[in-house]
Amino acid sequence: MIGVELVEDPAAKKPFAPGVNVGVRIGKQALRNGLLLRFDPHWVAFGPPLVVTESEIDQMVGILELSIREVLREL
């Protein structure tokens, strides 16, 4: 399992403003893109099966990256 805490400014660890719910937005976009995640307003996480292949991990990370980019363009 791996999780990512989502902050507006990584250097200062400044969170997104209340109500932005970036984690929920990314999580829902990832679902639309075909990736099942756990998510919260401030983080996303996924736990692939123990028999996952390297190419499957690459695919999951690619979908997560795409979903993050799509949501950040909207902010």
pLDDT score recorded for residue 26: 98
Domain count, the chain: 1
Q: What is the mean pLDDT of each run of 10 residues along the chain (75 residues)?
A: 93 94 98 97 93 96 97 94
CATH number at residue 65: 3.90.1150.10
The whole domain housing 43 covers 2-74
Instruction: Give the count of beta carbons closer than 10 Å to the beta carbon of residue 41.
Output: 16
**pTM for this prediction:** 0.91
Q: Which of 29, 25, 61, 33 is nearest to 46 (CA)?
A: 61
| Integer Cα distance of 70 and 75 in angstroms | 9
